Structures are given as C-alpha cells and as structure tokens.
C-alpha cells in the first residue's frame, strides 16, 4: 500500500522544458501567462502539451520561495464549535477561496472578550506564510485586533476594529428587525410584542432598535410591548408569557430559540399559531424553523455572504487594489433577508374588518 506511493517522482519544470524542447524560462512564461511576454502560439502549444503529458504540477514551495506568496489565506474563527453559524461563514469563505484558487486554512480560537489574546493564532498563520488573514468574531461591536494582524492584509468578520483601519463586515441586524415589523404591520398587526434578549451584545441592541424604530415609524406605541428573557427557549417562554398578558397579536422573538419558547407559551395558553398569534424569529437557525409546527417565519443572517465577502475583499487587497483605507473607514453591512414560512397570519381583529 504505502509502497505504491513512494517512488512517484513527479515531473518538474525542467522535464517539461526538455520534453517541449524549450527553456525553463519559456515554460514558466507560458504556464503562468506572464504579462508583457510574447511567446509564439506554436511554442506555447508545445509547452502546454508537454506539461499535460507529463502531468506537471508546479511545486508550491519553490514558487513561494521566489514570489513570497502562498495563495493561502488563514481564517481565525472564535469558537467554531459553539456558534451555530460559523459553519456557513467557513463555507462562504471556502467556496470563494476555491473560485479564486486560494487555499483556506482555519484555526479556532477560544471565545474571549479580549481578542488580543488571539495573537497566537494570527502568529501561527504568519509563520505559515498565509498571504492574508480573516479574523472572524461573534458578538462584538468593536474589538482591539491583535497587533500582529497588521503585518499582513486582513479583514474582520462580525466586528469593527477599534482603530478603524481594518476592513470589516457585519450583518444589518437593525434593518432585519425593522423589516419584520413592517411585514407584520402590512398584514394588519398593531400590537406587536418583542421578546428581547437580556444579553448585552450588538445583535441584541440592533434588533431591539430596529423593532422600536419601525414601530415608531408606523405610529405604533410599544413601550409596554417589550419583555426581556435569556436568549434561549426558556427565556422566550418566559418573555412570551409576560407579553401575552398584554394581548399582542404577534410576538417577534430575538432569536429562533426564544421562538421555540414562544410556541410553548402559546400552546399552554391555548393559542393557535398563526391563527391566534403570529410568531417571528431571527437567525434562521437550522433545524428550528422547519422543525416547528407550523414552520417559523424568521430572518436569515448573511453568514455565507460575509465569509465570501471576506475572501474576495482580501483577494483585492492582496492584488494591491488600494481600497483598504476606503473599506476600513466604514464597515460593510450586509442585509438580513426575511424568510416567510407559516407562523404569520393577519390578526383576528383584521379578519373582522
């Protein structure tokens, strides 16, 4: 088994050159399509044929040694494990990297409030010759990026750098929440409760703000329609129970887990969703929305898109497109689309009209 692997001496550029009857220089020019270099189509064809025939694969080490480029970018993610959405960030980054012929390497970092500690992970990528680094965090408005992140092109996902000098991307939580309220209002709801999270993170603030602004814009009072709970099913259950005493026709939950609690609360009160009560979540956290009865209308986060954005932005930076300062000045904000499923209907009162 192992034996069959040992002796496969792979062809080098020298072999290709010999086989095509040209110099290594020419082979290199043809295969890399070096700009400002003319090679006769005839010669080029011979080179390509030889490379093909010999199964030539350029040695990355040798190339890197000359060009100082690895075509590898490093992704440092806070807590791959515990954040349910990291997978989609990774997927977006990975697929965009493949499209651009870049290798994506990943390192997990512990969740911690002070990202300066993460410089070890960044260093690991610097040591490994990563061309650029993506630093993905969850739940931070602003972070102090590890100092060594500045020694290579870098972009941030999910947080803005305190110094404002690193391009960053984040979801537009506020607009996503506002869109939910607008949709509910359009369906005729006026008493729309919000089951808010007690956590003090950007998502909490952004979603609450979006709710409040949209309610105000619609001329709807909402002071008594916000209840707080922990950001899980139990918290959603408790907050919804509290809200239900104030007779809302719809409950918008901070996230899908809280929405699970809202379903439970509605069930206990004998309320049928969506006939008696509309419920909306946020996060589109698999497998919740499709597993609920009825399926949950919710808002999806642009994790895939943020991952892809990070890679393509980094790629531009690597190619010297000097938009870095521009990009860094204002974080890029990506939309959170509303996903309508079955948990929303017009309120009973509207049906009476």
Partner DNA sequence: CTGAAAGCGCTTACAG
In sign, the C-alpha dihedral spanning 85, 87, 91, 93 is positive
Task: Work out the number of other CB atoms within 10 angstroms of the CB of residue 328.
Answer: 18
Query: Does residue 34 bind DNA (CB under 7 A)?
Result: yes
Query: Does residue 63 bind DNA (CB under 7 A)?
Result: yes
Region 217-236 residues binding a copy of itself, contact defined as CB under 8 A = 232-233
Q: If 0-12 CB within 10 Å is exposed, 13-18 middle and 19+ buried, where does residue 322 land?
A: exposed
Q: Which stretch binds a copy of itself (CB under 8 A): 12-20, 216-224, 242-250, 261-269?
A: 261-269
Q: Using CB under 8 A as the criterion, what x/- string covers residues 122-141 for binding a copy of itself? A: --x-xxxx------------
Chosen residue from 3, 6, 8, 66 binding DNA by CB under 7 A: 66
Are the beta carbons of 135 and 102 closer than 8 angstroms?
Answer: no
Rg (CA), the chain: 27
How many Cα neighbours within 13 Å face the side chain of 24?
Answer: 6
CA 188 to each of CA 182, 250, 274, 352: distance values in angstroms, whole numbers, following the listed order: 10, 10, 13, 11
CA 310 to each of CA 108, 150, 218, 325, 337: distance values in angstroms, whole numbers, following the listed order: 17, 16, 36, 15, 19
Quick one: what does residue 187 bind among a copy of itself, DNA, none, with the CB cut-off 5 to 8 Å set by partner type? Answer: none
Are the beta carbons of 307 and 157 closer than 8 angstroms?
Answer: yes
Omega of the bond leading into 294 within 30 degrees of 0 (cis): yes
Chosen residue from 14, 128, 269, 348 binding DNA by CB under 7 A: 14
Query: Does residue 188 bind DNA (CB under 7 A)?
Result: no
How far apart are CB 325 and a copy of itself at their closest, in Å?
6
CA 350 to each of CA 162, 191, 347: distance values in angstroms, whole numbers, following the listed order: 48, 12, 5
Chosen residue from 50, 226, 292, 334 binding a copy of itself by CB under 8 A: 292
Among 149, 167, 138, CA closest to 74: 149
Encoding tokens for residue 238? 């408790």
Chosen residue from 2, 4, 7, 40 binding DNA by CB under 7 A: 40
Quick one: what does residue 288 bind among a copy of itself, DNA, none, with the CB cut-off 5 to 8 Å set by partner type? Answer: a copy of itself
Region 179-208 residues binding a copy of itself, contact defined as CB under 8 A = none
Query: Does residue 108 bind DNA (CB under 7 A)?
Result: no
The CA distance from 332 to 309, in Å, is 9
Chosen residue from 239, 324, 331, 343 binding a copy of itself by CB under 8 A: 324
Query: Does residue 36 bind DNA (CB under 7 A)?
Result: no
Q: Which stretch binds a copy of itself (CB under 8 A): 91-99, 178-186, 193-201, 207-215?
A: 91-99
Q: Given the rule CB under 7 A, which residues bind DNA?
A: 12-14, 21-26, 28-29, 31-32, 34, 37-40, 42-44, 56-59, 61-63, 65-67
Q: Given the rule CB under 8 A, which residues bind a copy of itself?
A: 1-2, 4-5, 8, 57-65, 70-72, 80-81, 84, 86-88, 90-91, 94-95, 98, 103-108, 124, 126-129, 150-153, 165, 232-233, 237, 257, 260-261, 264, 267, 285-288, 290-293, 304, 322, 324-325, 328
């Amino acid at each position: 088994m192992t034996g069959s692997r040992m002796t496969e001496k792979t062809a080098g550029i020298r072999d290709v050159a010999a086989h095509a009857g040209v110099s290594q220089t020419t082979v290199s020019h043809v295969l890399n399509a070096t700009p400002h270099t003319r090679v006769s189509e005839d010669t080029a064809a011979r080179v390509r044929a030889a490379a093909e025939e010999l199964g030539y694969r350029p040695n990355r080490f040798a190339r890197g040694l000359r060009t100082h480029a690895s075509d590898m970018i490093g992704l440092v993610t806070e807590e791959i494990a515990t954040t349910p959405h990291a997978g989609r960030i990774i997927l977006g980054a990975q697929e965009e990297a493949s499209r651009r012929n870049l290798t994506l390497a990943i390192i997990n970092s512990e969740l911690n409030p002070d990202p300066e500690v993460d410089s070890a992970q960044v260093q690991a990528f610097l040591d490994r010759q990563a061309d650029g680094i993506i630093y993905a965090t969850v739940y931070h408005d602003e972070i102090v990026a590890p100092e060594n992140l500045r020694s290579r092109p870098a972009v941030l996902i999910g947080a803005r750098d305190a110094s404002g000098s690193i391009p960053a991307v984040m979801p537009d939580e506020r607009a996503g929440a506002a869109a939910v309220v607008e949709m509910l209002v359009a369906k005729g709801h006026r008493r729309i409760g919000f089951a808010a999270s007690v956590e003090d993170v950007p998502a909490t603030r952004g979603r609450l703000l979006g709710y409040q602004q949209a309610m105000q814009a619609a001329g709807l009072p909402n002071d008594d329609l916000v209840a707080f709970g922990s950001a899980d099913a139990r918290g959603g259950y408790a907050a919804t129970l509290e809200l239900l005493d104030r007779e809302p026709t719809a409950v918008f939950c901070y996230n899908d887990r809280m929405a699970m609690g809202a379903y439970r609360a509605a069930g206990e009160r004998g309320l049928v969703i969506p006939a008696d009560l509309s419920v909306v979540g946020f996060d589109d956290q698999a497998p919740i929305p499709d597993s609920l009865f009825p399926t949950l209308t919710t808002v999806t986060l642009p994790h895939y898109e943020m991952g892809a954005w990070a890679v393509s932005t980094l790629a531009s930076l690597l190619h010297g497109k000097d938009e870095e300062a521009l990009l860094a000045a204002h974080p890029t904000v990506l939309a959170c689309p509303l996903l309508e499923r079955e948990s929303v209907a017009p309120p009973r009162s509207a049906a009476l009209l």
